[in-house]
Amino acid sequence: MSTQLTPEKTAELAKRATAVRKNILEMVTAAKSGHPGGSLSAADILVTLYFAVMRVDPHAPADPERDRFVLSKGHAAPVLYATLAERGFLPHSELTTLRQVDSRLQGHPDMKGVPGVDMSTGSLGQGLSAANGMALAGRVDGKDWRVYALLGDGELEEGQVWEAAMFAAHYKLDNLTAFVDYNGLQIDGPVSEVMSPLPIPEKWRAFGWHVLEIDGHDYNAIYGAIETAKTVKGKPTMIVATTVKGKGVCSMEGVADWHGKAPSTDECAKFLAELCG
Amino acid sequence: MGKATREAYGEALKELGGRYKDIIVLDADLSKSTKTNVFAKAYPDRFFNVGIAEQNLIGTAAGLAAAGKIPFVSTFAMFATGRAYEQVRNSVGYPHLNVKICATHAGLTVGEDGATHQAIEDIGLMRAIPGMTVIVPADATETHQAVAWAAEYKGPVYIRLGRMAVPDVFGESYAFAPGKAALLAEGADLTIIACGVMVAPARRAADELTQAGLTARVLNMPTIKPIDSAAIIKAARDTGAVVTCEEHTVIGGLGSAVAEVLVENVPVPMERVGILDTFGESGTPDALLAKYSLTVADIVRAAKRVVERKS
């Protein structure tokens, strides 16, 4: 199994990620609220998962044999919806209904309404437990599908995360691969200042996980880590992905204020022009 | 005396485990008390102890259900509905996942452990969650049938179970019907509606009331949500007065559910026998039931009061 992407695949992922970032900006702007910063930081991870890794079929979104993805940091719903649209689960035209009444695209993901959304999340700290349950179900049935979860770094302040961390290691859920989107910022400021969850890799190692540390914007690094995780036996894998909040939009990068604020129409036009690719 | 509803739960789970290969049981370090250990012995590959971590208990169950399993999760009612309330609401209730929360040691009759372990508001908490079915079985037979029904039903269910042995109320011919009250005695002067451990005392209270020249209809109300509105409305029309009995705070539980139906449909005099907005304490179950006004005599007094208010 190669842990390297072809140059063509890497180029495709970059193109997809730019499209996803464009959609994130447009949908959050249209909604006049939402969480662009942490959506943009996770875009490369989601694009790699959905376009290079996960066994999913937009024509059979509930296929029992599919790989699952749990967006534990549910406020990054825009990146999930945009990625699902890019992958064919949703029409692109629906994206700008985000957060509006009667829309399927709730402010935080609702599994009941949206094809491709495997778990309802949003209240922080709960997603990894659900991913545990899915991985356990797959294990009990001897299935080969895998479970992926994405957590925020600020989210690691929730106690339930560590209950779930213990469980996954205790039951040796090696069909579970999780990511920390380590962008360093939460609403009230740097995670290290608000309530430090650092050092992150050491904590997961101490809880019995296989831990990989990567640049969360390097497609080959993301892909390689996921492929490595598939070969790890007897342990779940945590990929601590160092990222930049607001990644891809120069004016938003590294600014905590863009955690949960929508750009104005004018700002959006400016930000779209800043997107590379 | 019959057996505790938790005992019947353990036996029912074991039986259902053979019939439903997708049943997975989770417990949070209380399997000997909740009786999930009976299932664990029979089906060790489908039992998982999550340790003392109730938030993850509920969340893991949600994930199992999302992947097509039928998870039964058990711990004490305090922790299932209190400690993990928001996990039940957001990870189970909101996505309407097929999770069965069978919580034991509910109410004051936990006894000596005291107030920290006596869930007296769990019915109210669970009832407030949209789409949640709430069942409070009265005895072993009803527990067995309610648990079997829950295994078949697709959707979240909360079943409230007790620690102490309770009298057998129902014979083998009893058929639990979800969302339906069961008529235990017929009467004309008032209706006593009870659930859980209060059903047996309610029936005895009806017997005692005959000495005072009063006849009471007695309804067992095992399903608190969805509540049997038709039975409540009919009872109010037929008898003109209602007493509710529950081992739960009078705020949010059976009494509240019945009051909601009465007020909007047939406002008749009503009295609620329950815990009067206070915490419990350590003591034997019987001593606590006496101190917190949950005895046959308390029901009789409430019945007499409510009948006086009719005119």
pLDDT of res. A276: 64
CATH number at residue A181: 3.40.50.970
Cβ distance A136 to B63 less than 8 Å, yes or no, reads: yes
**Structural fold of domain B182-308:** Rossmann fold (3.40.50)
The nearest CA of chain A is from the CA of B24 a distance in Å of 9
Which parts of chain B register pLDDT below 70?
Answer: none
pLDDT of res. B172: 85
Q: Which residue has the tokens 């991870």?
A: A45
Residues of B annotated catalytic, as ranges: 54
pLDDT of res. B167: 96
Q: Is residue A142 predicted with pLDDT exceeding 80?
A: yes
pLDDT of res. A3: 79
Q: Is residue A249 predicted with pLDDT exceeding 80?
A: yes
Of A207, A187, A228, A218, residue with least CA distance to A47: A218
Identify whether A219 is part of a domain.
yes
Identify whether A199 is part of a domain.
yes
Query: Alpha-carbon distance A230 to B140, whole Å?
Result: 47
Cβ distance A164 to B60 less than 8 Å, yes or no, reads: yes
For A74-87, what is each residue's pLDDT tens digit?
A: 999 999 999 999 99
Identify whether A2 is part of a domain.
no
pLDDT of res. B1: 82
Where does CATH 3.40.50.920 sit in chain B?
182-308
pLDDT of res. A257: 87
The DSSP result for B21-70, as a single string, is TTEEEEESS-HHHHSHHHHHHH-GGGEEE--S-HHHHHHHHHHHHHTT-E
Positive or negative CA dihedral for B286, B289, B291, B297?
negative
Q: Is residue B28 within 8 angstroms of chain A, CB to CB?
A: no
Contacts A123 to B, Cβ<8 Å? 86, 90-91
Mean pLDDT along residues A55-72:
98
pLDDT bucket at A1, cuts 50 / 70 / 90? low
Query: Alpha-carbon distance B162 to B173, whole Å?
Result: 23
Question: What amino acid is encoded at A88 in this protein?
Answer: G
> Which of the listed CATH numbers 3.30.1360.120, 3.30.460.10, 3.30.420.40, 3.40.50.970 matches domain B5-160?
3.40.50.970
Cβ-contact A36, A246 below 8 angstroms: yes
Residue B247 in 3-state DSSP?
strand
Look up the domain containing A107 and give its range: 7-274
| Interface with chain B: mutation pick from A68, A71, A110, A140, highest number of B CBs within 10 Å | A140
Q: Is residue B18 within 8 angstroms of chain A, CB to CB?
A: no
Q: Is residue A224 predicted with pLDDT exceeding 80?
A: yes
pLDDT of res. A214: 98
Cβ distance B56 to A134 less than 8 Å, yes or no, reads: no
Cβ-contact A64, A118 below 8 angstroms: no
Q: Is residue B59 within 8 angstroms of chain A, CB to CB?
A: yes
Closest by Cβ to A120, choosing from B68, B69, B95: B95
- Number of domains observed in the structure of chain A: 1
Positive or negative CA dihedral for B51, B55, B61, B67?
negative
Where does CATH 3.40.50.970 sit in chain B?
5-160
Identify whether A1 is part of a domain.
no
b or e along B93-120 (b: 16 or more beta carbons within 10 Å of the residue's beta carbon)?
bbbbbbbbbbbbbbbbbbbeeeeebbbb
Query: Alpha-carbon distance B23 to B68, whole Å?
Result: 10
Tokens of residue A260, six digits: 């949960």
The nearest CA of chain A is from the CA of B63 a distance in Å of 4
Closest by Cβ to B48, choosing from A131, A136, A164: A136
Q: Which residue has the tokens 């779209």?
A: A272
Cβ distance A129 to B55 less than 8 Å, yes or no, reads: yes
Identify whether A31 is part of a domain.
yes
Residue A35 in 3-state DSSP?
coil
How many Å from the N-terminal Cα to the C-terminal Cα in chain B? 39
pLDDT of res. A168: 98
Query: Alpha-carbon distance A180 to B150, whole Å?
Result: 37
Give percent of chain A with pLDDT exceeding 70: 99
pLDDT of res. B33: 97
